[in-house]
Amino acid sequence: MKANSNYKNVKFFLRIFLDILKWIFIISMVIFTLFPVIYIILGSFKSNNELMIGGNIIPKVWNLTNYIDAWQKANFAIYTWNSLYFCVFVTVGALLISSMAGYVLARKEFYGKKIFKGVLLSTMFITLGAIVYKPLYIMMVSIGLNNSMWAIILIQIGAQGMNIFIVERFVKGIPKELDEAAKIDGCSSFRIYWQIIIPLIRPILGVVGLFSFRDAWNSYVLPSIFSIMNRSLMTLTVGVVNLKYADGAAIQWNIMVAGASIALIPMLIVYIFASKQFISGLTVGGVKG
């Protein structure tokens, strides 16, 4: 009896110890995740000297003029519109391409299917980096889109390899009997895709849409390249980075940080409204996987 009691005590304390370790890990991850955001928001109220010196996280003097300067010195109205225009069309294009291609790969057999999937896989695992930017720019110049937002929209939409395979795997988890029953009722392939498949894969499309919007919103290199000759094409991310030179050669980090804080707001709003769909998509996808 004594040995059994000692075993229960050891098991009880071990469970408490593991729970403490779990909460320490969770709290640590939350701190590491939120600290940069909190630092940026609090830093946006500091003067440039205080921000450069560092030391204190909370501002000694709360300076609200940083936001006024950021809004006035950067044309935030135009840059915000450019970013929203860019992100909305990229998200819609990503949803259409990934859902259609994923449906076709999961349900149809056609000549060259394996080659097509191999090419998609190569775009995911073989990265050429900055080498591809020059040919992409030359291609857009040749078709007359280098002075249009559609240049970066089309380039961004083209990179959907991962999303296509995610949707394909999700569609494979839907019983084919639904397609067969719809065909008996006279439904075309497009009608099956639009009225049967799309409603069933809505959770994973929410994940694809959220990730596509986030990647487009945070995109910097492509919008920067295509807006060098035309500043009216700048997105908010590019405009925020340029804020640090708002007063000439001196780097104004406080103004840039204030602009970055403003740029966080739309992304936070999207996450708040899409969080339920995002979590649902990850949960259902995990169960299907």
The answer on pLDDT for 92 being more than 90 is yes
The answer on pLDDT for 67 being more than 80 is yes
Mean pLDDT computed over 74-98: 87
Share of the chain above pLDDT 90, in %: 6
From the list 236, 238, 214, 213, the residue with the least C-alpha distance to 224 is: 238
| Burial of 122 (C-beta count, 10 Å sphere; 0-12/13-18/19+) | exposed
DSSP string, 219-286: --HHHHHHTSS-GGG--HHHHHHHGGGTTSSS--HHHHHHHHHHHHHHHHHHHHHHHHHHHHHHHHHH
Question: What pLDDT, on a 0 to 100 scale, did the predictor assign at position 15?
Answer: 83
Separation between Cα atoms, residue 118 and residue 132, nearest integer Å: 20
Separation between Cα atoms, residue 65 and residue 150, nearest integer Å: 35
Question: What pLDDT, on a 0 to 100 scale, did the predictor assign at position 91?
Answer: 92
pLDDT in tens, 172-205: 888 888 888 888 888 888 888 888 888 888 888 8
Q: Is the dihedral of CA 70, 73, 77, 81 positive or negative?
A: negative
Domain 65-288 belongs to what topology? Answer: MetI-like fold (1.10.3720)
From the list 182, 180, 158, 162, the residue with the least C-alpha distance to 170 is: 162
Stated pTM of the model: 0.78
